[in-house]
Amino acid sequence: GAGVSQSPSNKVTEKGKDVELRCDPISGHTALYWYRQSLGQGLEFLIYFQGNSAPDKSGLPSDRFSAERTGGSVSTLTIQRTQQEDSAVYLCASSRDLAYEQYFGPGTRLTVT
C-alpha cells in the first residue's frame, strides 16, 4: 500500500517568508510525528499528534513553528518568518498507534536563502 508522502520534496525560500510543509500519513495511522534533520546533526523530534491532538510540542524550536492535523489524517507544519537556521530536511512519520513502528516519509528539504 501507499507509504507516508510529503510535499513539496524541495523548497527554497527567502529569509523572512512563511512556508508550509505537508504530510500525508499511511491510511488508518492515528499517530503522526514531525522530525528535523539538519546538516551534520542528528534527527530531532519536533511534535507529534495522536488523532488531531498534539500532546507534546516540546520539540518545536520557537514560536515561529506551528503544526496542525485535521480529520486525523493530513498534517501541515508551518514555519513563519523563516531564518537560515531553519534550513534542514523535515521528516514526517506515522504509526498505527503510539506503541507501534514508525514509518517515515521521504522528507522535505527546506533551504532558506
Residues forming the site for another protein (CB under 8 A): 4, 31, 33, 35, 42-45, 48, 50, 55-56, 59, 91, 93, 98-107
Q: Residues 83-106, buried b or exposed e (16+ Cβ, 10 A)?
A: eeebbbbbbbbbbeeeeeebeebe
- Which amino acid is present at 87? S
**C-beta of 67 vs 93, nearer to another protein:** 93
Q: How far is the CB of 61 from another protein (least distance, A)?
A: 15
**C-beta of 37 vs 76, nearer to another protein:** 37
Q: Which residues contact 56 (CB under 8 A, 6 or more apart)?
A: 47, 48
Pairing, β 108-112 against β 10-13: parallel
Q: How far is the CB of 101 from another protein (least distance, A)?
A: 4
Q: How far is the CB of 72 from another protein (least distance, A)?
A: 17
**C-beta of 56 vs 68, nearer to another protein:** 56
